[in-house]
Structure 1
């Protein structure tokens, strides 16, 4: 009697039974999780009132309705200090964002005006105040503000980042950037200054030391490449603070394009008073790895006179990126404190600030008086 078919059938039956056990176990786990969610929903305290009475007086006392109107009529400087931009730019911002953030009115309650949402977000970014503190100024519930801020931040980034943050992709565009560094910072064949800034955050739950950096704080990394006029050419936001600047840059799309020769860089060209061709390159500090398209300073050991001069010139060429981070933090002072939001929202807050940054050194000098509180 042939037993092989019977053994095969037995093995198949055992395998099918094990698969059924696994599926059943998974189903039980899912059911338990769903039951927990249902219990949590039942435990939530129902709303006692539809809307607090004091919030209904927003048109009489709110900052957006009263204070901004008063400042617009009598003190434009204070208006710019309050929102970090002049009335014309604020109006343009509201008009362009309205299709993305405006909601429909309900039978029971009117939706928030898009201008109010933008003003709340700009004031939060300008000061870093708590949502509760903002609620008493704008007369908007704090639980509403906590949903308005990330919504508007995402809308600003989606609307402006492709328009205002443009990375060169052709040899002529890269040469134009290099010309700015040669004329303004006396450093030739430079296609940008790169650096990373640690933005302090509240330690996320169960994150361990993932966001803990060498400064002893929890942070995410804002990586940026800047031209000679403080204009942003490329950004990367959201890497955990425990990574080095070089490690963060290595994971970006720009690094891959440069390393694979797909960034459209010009061929090597000679420097003034020299016949030796030199690669076009980024300038960075010692935290980055040396590449043919990236230059870092010499080590501080056994420096010759020529090496010291080179380090000095390279340090000058890196000033634009350092100055850009300083201007950004002074203009939007939420970056000077701790961002108290969930990890998924960090990138929205920080990334939004970059399109809102002044377009260059000209606007930066004009708005310097309005950067303080």
Structure 2
């Protein structure tokens, strides 16, 4: 008797499963019936008539100059980048999957030109949602695969080398890098209130970064709310918090060149940053004594490196100059991809990506502004404000550094 009951129970369960499957199939049929098409007819010719097939490959093979304008890199570096990312970009589907080359080409075009999603959809003959998905996935892949090699924080030995290069180039001893923060404009996120609303009355996320003497990013922090004060952003960033707490792993203090003055290593910033043991800033005011003025000039020679690094970044990756139409999470992915691509191309010595004419320089004792200053409006910096109190020890260190620079120059 129990066996009969069990059989009936199994039969009823089977009927229920069949009924559920039938219901789902009917819903899918209705949805597909109401949809005009699965793939737009104009996009069916993507393989033969899309931008990648008709234009991009021809530029790659025959026109190096315009290929650089589209991708911001040489064909050799594009192929190298594709090799590094190919497996991460490969997709499998019942329909013919979009190839890694197309995915990378579209994303680089978006980052370099700041293209509208709809324009890319028409150009590559894809749906807008597909274009967005490809761009975010590719930016993710660029960061995941490259940042450990091209944008990992330097160790103590590497920081000491950075300091040597800054001293040779600017005369600023023990300088580990220049720091600054920039607002990256985004479309107002839904239900965000005033969280991303900044003092320029736009919505933004904040990019905090440091660079070395060769215009490479060394430390980055992205995603702070545009409404936060400069001090709030700096203190909440992992990098800034460690500087303020004195926990960042940097070389041990050493004597200033040619003296017996033991001095800590430090970063340089503008007046928006606090004066700390490991963070030097200019003397405030306009009517300064000659020794303070000379200190500010030398510090500015070091600090201007971060301005130029951001200038190179924004002039090459024009998406950063637009109002990025993406939620904050995806905007972070886009910005991170541009940062790691910048370091990748700088370290690959791409001859078109960086030239000396692009940055501020001194020629025959004459200061010449970098080309990027005439080509683009710079990214918006923080407001100038003192964000917290400095210790008497920090003031003493700055005075010692001032005296050293005045005896040297």
- Mark yes or no: TM-score above 0.5: yes
Q: 8 Å contact 2:112–2:316 — kept in the other structure?
A: yes
The question of 1:252 aligning with 2:213 is answered no
Number of residue pairs matched? 329
Matches within 5 A, 1:232-243: 232-243=217-228
Change (3 A) 1:49 1:233: same
Q: 8 Å contact 2:210–2:218 — kept in the other structure?
A: yes
- Please tell me the root mean square deviation across aligned C-alpha atoms, in Å: 2.4
Query: Secondary structure of the residue that 2:168 maps to in structure 1?
Result: helix
The question of 1:71 aligning with 2:59 is answered yes
Match of 2:135 in 1: 149
Match of 2:393 in 1: none
Match of 2:113 in 1: 127
Runs (5+) with no aligned partner, structure 1:
1-41
Q: Residue by residue, what CA displacement relative to the aligned partner does 1:73-101 show, whole Å, maximum 9, x if unpaired?
A: 32111111111111122122222222222
Q: 8 Å contact 2:179–2:209 — kept in the other structure?
A: yes
Change (3 A) 1:268 1:368: closer
Runs (5+) with no aligned partner, structure 2:
1-29, 359-371, 377-409
Match of 1:160 in 2: 146
Query: Secondary structure of the residue that 1:355 maps to in structure 2?
Result: helix
Match of 1:52 in 2: 40
Change (3 A) 1:225 1:98: same
Q: 8 Å contact 2:187–2:323 — kept in the other structure?
A: yes
Aligned counterpart in structure 1 of residue 125 of structure 2, from 125, 128, 139: 139
Q: Which moved more, 1:328-337 or 1:66-75?
A: 66-75
Match of 1:204 in 2: 189
Query: Secondary structure of the residue that 2:177 maps to in structure 1?
Result: strand
Q: Which moved more, 1:187-196 or 1:301-310?
A: 301-310
Q: 8 Å contact 2:73–2:352 — kept in the other structure?
A: no
Query: Secondary structure of the residue that 1:318 maps to in structure 2?
Result: helix
Match of 1:95 in 2: 83
Structure 1 distance, partners of 2:87, 2:112, is 24
Match of 1:22 in 2: none
Query: Secondary structure of the residue that 1:291 maps to in structure 2?
Result: coil
The question of 1:290 aligning with 2:275 is answered yes
Structure 2 distance, partners of 1:289, 1:94, is 42
Query: Secondary structure of the residue that 1:193 maps to in structure 2?
Result: strand
Structure 2 distance, partners of 1:267, 1:117, is 46
Q: 8 Å contact 1:166–1:232 — kept in the other structure?
A: no
Structure 1 distance, partners of 2:33, 2:333, is 30
Match of 2:24 in 1: none
Q: 8 Å contact 1:210–1:241 — kept in the other structure?
A: yes
TM superposition shift of 1:217: 1.6
